[in-house]
Amino acid sequence: NAGVTQTPKFRILKIGQSMTLQCAQDMNHNYMYWYRQDPGMGLKLIYYSVGAGITDKGEVPNGYNVSRSTTEDFPLRLELAAPSQTSVYFCATRGSNTGELFFGEGSRLTVL
């Protein structure tokens, strides 16, 4: 089992470009999350989903969008990239009967 797979691992964007970070899981977990990690700031929740077709905003949703058409996939869309979105993005999943989050290995995004 691959667990949580994120693509791409690295990406450089120009200001104003758009892109989608992909997240796929084979754990059959209902809950999925997108976090961003910045030095000295910990991890901040961007969006989350409690199941296919259901998404909600986290702490820092501005500039991002998500969709959840299947249990397995939870893509994160960046529209009009800005330097402030330079960060490492982590996707995570959680099963229904546990508090444990399972993270992917991250996607490092640089906006120049």
Per-residue binding string, another protein, 85-104, x by CB under 8 A, is: -----x-x-x-xxxxxx-xx
Q: 9 with 34: CB under 8 angstroms? A: no
Minimal distance in Å, beta carbon 75 to another protein?
Answer: 17
Residue 60 within binding range of another protein, rule CB under 8 A: no
Structure tokens at 80: 């009009």
Residue with token string 């982590």: 90
Residues 15 and 1: their CA atoms lie apart, in Å, by 37
**Contact flag: residue 71 with another protein (CB under 8 A):** no
- Write the CB contacts of 40 (distance below 8 Å, at least 6 apart in sequence): none
Other beta carbons within 10 Å of 54: 10
Shortest reach from residue 3's CB to another protein, in Å: 9
Q: Binding another protein by CB under 8 A: which of 21, 106, 109, 111? A: 106
* Interface positions with another protein (CB under 8 A): 4, 31, 33, 35, 40-45, 48, 50, 56, 58-59, 90, 92, 94, 96-101, 103-106
